[in-house]
Amino acid sequence: MKKLITLLTLLIVLHKPSGAVNIVPDSVVALYQKLNNAEQRLIDFKDSDKDLKLKLEQLQIINESRVKHQSGEVKLDILASRMANKMCKEAALNNYTGHWNMAGEKPYQRYAFAGGLDHVSENASGKSTNGEFAQNDNTVLSSMKELHHLFMSESAPNDGHKINCTDKRHNYVGIGFYLTAQQFRYYEEFIDRYYSFADVPVKVKVNQEFSLKLKTEAGWYLCYLVAYKDKAPKKIKAAKISLKHSYKDYTKKTALVVKPWSFVNYKFEGVYKIPLKFEKAGLYYIQIYQDQKEYRTPKNFNTEGKIQASGVVITVEE
């Protein structure tokens, strides 16, 4: 696994001149194939080699958009792509488009339940036809490009998808699609990945003390943690999902907060060990922010402009 992680850090998705044909180098394809074969989560939604290549071509389209807006290029994330595949399939087969699935799960819940620990921001789109879509790669590629360009053609103040596409904080993206005779669905799952986690519990007991262990990249410091108490997802009918619009990446119930100057006490030999405990049963969504400044004494603080680089979901049981 260490070798694969090293290979991923070496990946450079080449930016092509405008109007040129997308050609993904064989070496890049081969490296992503290794990552794809190594990932065992959501295995039922694994991309074939052919579909993986289509997504790498679409990745170049996404990175063109980001470069035009002075944002860094993103790499393809395998787990997030499988999460997106699963969502696209359900949406296409049930004729809806939205950020909730029929189990009532929002993007960060779906990603966390699949094993993700990073912050995720979703773009969702689709199209239908009264006739039949041709079942070939050209349909997939042209449809992905078309729907992405619709995101990028948005104008303020209704430009949430465009803002998400070009957010400088994103460094990975999951790409999903699903094609039927009459339906095509396309999802982008932008990821902010800056932490290496260890031993994150999926479930804990009420009042059970536990720790989140993680390491930041060089030159970065944890500066804020907030845990929101979330409702357990409830099933939603497909017709209602299409009527729902944007989602909030938090709830109104703040369960606990760790202030910036507390993290100095939780860092040992470059690794943070953050003690946590929840007093009530439920689902908790933990967001952790980072900054290039380390806070050592109490002062006024807000998270504006800081990188939210986690999406940990923990279930607390009686």
Residues 6 or more apart from 60 whose CB is under 8 A from it? 13, 14, 15, 16, 22, 24
Tell whether the model's pLDDT for residue 70 goes beyond 80.
yes
CATH number of the 196-317 domain: 2.60.40
* pLDDT tens per residue across span 256-273: 999 999 999 999 998 999
Q: Which CATH fold would you assign to the domain 2-192?
A: Pathogenesis-related Protein p14a (3.40.33)
What is the per-residue pLDDT across 72-94, written as a single tens digit (0 to 9) for each?
Answer: 999 999 999 999 999 999 999 99
**CATH 3.40.33.10 location in the chain:** 2-192
Residues of the chain with CATH 2.60.40: 196-317
DSSP secondary structure, 34-93, as one string: HHHHH--TTGGGPPPHHHHHHHHHHHHHHHHHHHHTT----EEPHHHHHHHHHHHHHHHH
Q: Tell me the pairing of strands 172-179 and 75-76.
A: parallel
pLDDT at 22: 65
Under the banding of pLDDT at 50, 70 and 90, the label for residue 15 is: very low
Lowest mean pLDDT across 7-21, 39-53, 57-71, 235-249: 7-21
Residues 198-212, mean pLDDT to the nearest whole number: 95
What is residue 199's predicted lDDT score, i.e. its pLDDT?
86
Residue 166 identity: T
Mean pLDDT for 184-199 is 96
pTM: predicted TM-score of the whole model, two decimal places: 0.91
Q: Is the pLDDT assigned to residue 4 strictly greater than 70? A: no
Q: Is the pLDDT of residue 299 over 60?
A: yes
Q: What is the pLDDT of residue 245?
A: 85
